[in-house]
Chains A and B, each alone.
Chain A
Amino acid sequence: MDFRLTDDQRALRQGIRNLLEGRFGRQALRAAVDRADGKGGTHGRSGTDGRSGTHGKGGTGGKRPVGARVLDRELWRELGAAGFFALRLPEADGGVGQGLPEAVLAFEEAGRVLLPGPLIATHLAAGAVAGAATGEVVVTSPDGSLVEWLDEADIVRGDVSGAEPLASVDPLTPLHRLPASAAPRTGSGALRDPWAAGGPGGRPMPDGPGGHPEPDAPGGLASPSCGDTLLTSLLTAAEQLGSAARTCGTAVQHARTREQFGQPIGAFQAVQHLCADMLVRVEVARVAVYAAAVTADPADIAAARLLADEAAVRGARDCLQVYGGMGFTWESDVHLHLKRAWTRTHRAGGATRSEEALADDLVAGSA
């Protein structure tokens, strides 16, 4: 057993970090926020045209003026060229041939820089939807009662009939709400992937190559096949982890340099303890996310998701607290992390589903 990252994994992570920090650094982030925040740029389509299933949108694009588009198509293609979407696609199919652990490292980096776009849906579509793997095509899919990036996607996988735009709390994640009848059931029971057999509208959803997830593999053997909902949950957890690590680092950096009462605020124990608790949550979430990527076990994924959601949301809040008044301003990035973290918590069932699944796991006896 050696749980640490391999040299190749470190190199991959560093490569993606370099790409993203060069291509989507703070200036690019703020420029994207400014574009999204521009007057007239917040309205999505009215969404009554009843689209469903997997199809191209062709020329039916949204009502938003072209200039208000937020998604950087050039960056999207660069991500495709770097293998971000095709990371887990077999080499024989033109992919990079990597596994879930590598995908998790990539999405952690995406979360760190708040990379916008339907990253997970497009990643999951690679190999199934032409152009997704290369970043030529932007793919989204409904998730519960929400769908992200509907107006800017070229392809929608799943039923989005009756989608209505809502004024998204996260300036970089445009959201539509689906009618209540389309929302999947939630509640107890749920280690099985409720979407593996059919989409929220009862339509079949293309699934990962292996279909249903394997139960806990003996010795923690990696099982690359698990359903789209579980993969969405795991990759969301990876993004949350990246965001949590970033807000922790940001808070610490600020606490080292910001002076009040004649000393850096990081010398105050109250601030130190906020930061220490942030790190504990990050590190506990990190091992949970990495282990879930290795085992692909549904309970491991649920645990990873729960802890990563908490690390991201509470981390951003604590970072905001360390920043004090400055943290409450639009020009600080802290609120962007918090709003994105909140948005991500709604994916793939959220905390209720994870906690119920983990409770079921206890009585199922595999704990």
Chain B
Amino acid sequence: MDLTYTPEEEEFRARLRAWLAGVLPALPPKPSPDDWPARRAYDLGWQRRLYDAGYAGLHWPVDAGGRGATPTQHLIYLEETEKAGAPYVGANFVGLLHAGPTIASEGSAEQRARWLPPVLRGEEVWCQGFSEPGAGSDLAALRTRAWRDGDDYVVSGSKIWTSHAEVADWCELLVRTDPGARKHRGITWLAMPMDAPGITVRPLRTLAGSTEFAEVFLDEVRVPVANRVGAENDGWRVTMVTLSYERGTAFVGEVVACRRVLAEVAREARKNGRWDDVVLRRRLGRLNAEFRALWRLTQWNVSEAQGTGGVPGVGGSVFKLGYSHARQELFDAAAEVLGPEALDLGREWTLDRLSSLSYTIAAGTSQIQRNIVAERILGLPRGR
């Protein structure tokens, strides 16, 4: 049990800190949350700076254009960028954390050469075409069809909850290529260009009032067979590779951010007198325990990943269950501190409280995560 960082890791941290201190003051102001073209430009501009400084694709393998950093270095990177208030990956999220690693792991040499460098350089944005109105948590129930026509697949159907679809260049798309096969078997993973004829994007307004994601309608869209990653009907396995990345270190920066918010909430409570409420004060103390432990859990998972040389395993589900709940508790407590002001949409914490509601749903609901923990970690019989 060693929580000290090696001299190399500390040196990496120091260099990164120095670089962040130099580059962050020169960034343009953050665009409005609903101005997607401006957000795209801002996020890609940040990515370009990371690329030029050698921090792009830090955790990607070297042969995919990344830096081949250790999981601990990646942890330090996420911790320091969050502490410094650096921009989040934003519109580049799917490319850097989902599609990129999937192509790096499962794509051909040509596919890697075509799609990976533009992600790292901040030139192309990806979105994720997984969920459908009838296939959210039950992803394998997806119905968007694709059939072969010469050198193309012809795709028809619709996708939903597609983040950044309005400004994406590419979509990692799951389609059903064999309707006769069993649910998980007849699925194929395609890279679909978002400017292809037949694609309609309609932004969806969330309960937080923003247009975070969109519905995507596909009407006989032609996607070259060459854009298929992995074998036909082998898309489910390819997808599981993608999802294992999603549950890895995706939330490290957010835990750091939540700890900062919690301290701000406590200071606000001291200022406005709510601190004298013993119930509320103890509640904030308990949240301190939870977020401290969640930070230790990320360190534990990263140590495990470093030991196995792979991505964090099922421990990700344990983390996601604990984290998504704690995050909602945090912003509920913040609302307690704010009092009537918690109803003011002008307060950042009010918007954060609203958006925190997605955490127990997105990327596998808490109920699905509990099934995963029960069946895959604890070895309980499959539920019916």
Contacts and interface: CB of A to CB of B under 8 A. Distances in A.
Interface of A: 1-6, 9, 101, 188, 219-221, 252, 255-256, 263-264, 266-269, 271-273, 275-277, 279-280, 283-285, 287-288, 290-291, 293-295, 299-300, 302-304, 306-307, 352, 354-363, 365, 367
A1 B291 CA distance: 20
B84 to A, nearest CB: 17
Contact of B282 (A263, A293, A352): A352
Contacts of A300: 292
B3 A1 contact: yes
Q: On chain B, which size bracket covers the interface?
A: 35 or more
B318 A279 contact: yes
Nearest to B75: A1
A268 B380 CA distance: 9
A346 to B, nearest CB: 17
Interface stretch (B40-48, B60-68, B115-123, B303-311): B303-311
Interface of B: prevailing SS: helix
B289 A303 contact: yes
A359 B266 contact: yes
Contacts of A295: 3
Nearest to B304: A4
Contact of A287 (B285, B286, B300): B300
A302 B4 contact: no
Contact of A273 (B292, B297, B322, B367): B367
A221 B4 CA distance: 6
Interface in B329-384: 367, 369-371, 373-375, 377-384
B374 A2 contact: no
A354 B289 contact: yes
Given A272-B383, A275-B378, A5 B1 contact: yes
A269 B1 CA distance: 35
Interface in B282-301: 282-286, 288-294, 296-297, 299-300
B281 interface: yes
Contact of B284 (A220, A273, A354, A362): A362
Contact of A365 (B263, B296, B315, B371): B263
A299 B383 CA distance: 40
B3 A291 contact: yes
A307 B296 contact: no
Contacts of A1: 2-6, 9, 72, 75, 299, 302-303
19 contacts: A1-B75, A1-B303, A4-B303, A255-B380, A263-B384, A266-B380, A272-B374, A277-B321, A279-B377, A285-B293, A287-B300, A293-B1, A294-B1, A303-B293, A304-B289, A306-B285, A306-B289, A355-B286, A367-B288
Contacts of B322: 280, 284
